Amino acid sequence: MNPIAYLRCHYKEKFGTPRQSGSIPEAYGTIEFVSPFDRPEFFDGLEDITHIWVIGLFDKAEFQSPKVRPPRLGGNKKVGVFASRSPFRPNPLSLSLFKIEKINIENNVTIDVSGIDLMDGTPIYDIKPFHPEADIPDSPRAGWIDTLEKRKLDSLGWDEEAVLFLKNNTGEEYSKMSLMILEI
């Protein structure tokens, strides 16, 4: 099995890379397809689809233990690797849901995506269209994840100097940058 594409983005290491797809809608990247999968006919019909499942490989992660410490539990509690989304898995496959921003057909096909949670250079083995009726189960439960409260930006108590620095150096991107910092 060979990759059909590679993700290109500004996340060069795991620290700072969003932990879940969609958690930072402003996190963007480009899926660059390789020959022979970079031909337009592979993408016919995808233009009306808003989201894709991306199956990749956590190629920089090594399996370490059957139990992991999810960041959402503060690193204080362990759960089984199969009850987590840790990249440190026996078979380090990734499954991410990305929003399609633009499909570029000129020369080699690329897809601009947002809501990414993978590092630059991640090998992509397949993409599949998100299907709202088939991909959302009735009455889903997420176990220990359901018990966690979503953090709010205002609850962090941002340092005024840090806020001023962000506003002065990111301009209109301030709200996006602050959300990305929150996720880290």
From CA 85, how far away is CA 80, in angstroms rounded?
Answer: 10
**Residues of the chain under the 70 pLDDT cut:** 19-20, 72, 140-158, 171-184
Q: Could you tell me the residue ranges of all domains in the chain?
A: 5-147, 149-184
Predicted pLDDT of residue 4:
98
Radius of gyration of the chain (CA): 18
From CA 86, how far away is CA 92, in angstroms rounded?
Answer: 9
Predicted pLDDT of residue 160:
75
Predicted pLDDT of residue 141:
65
- Going from the C-alpha of 137 to that of each of 11, 83, 131, 141, the distances in angstroms are 32, 18, 11, 10
Classify domain 5-147 at the CATH class level: mainly beta
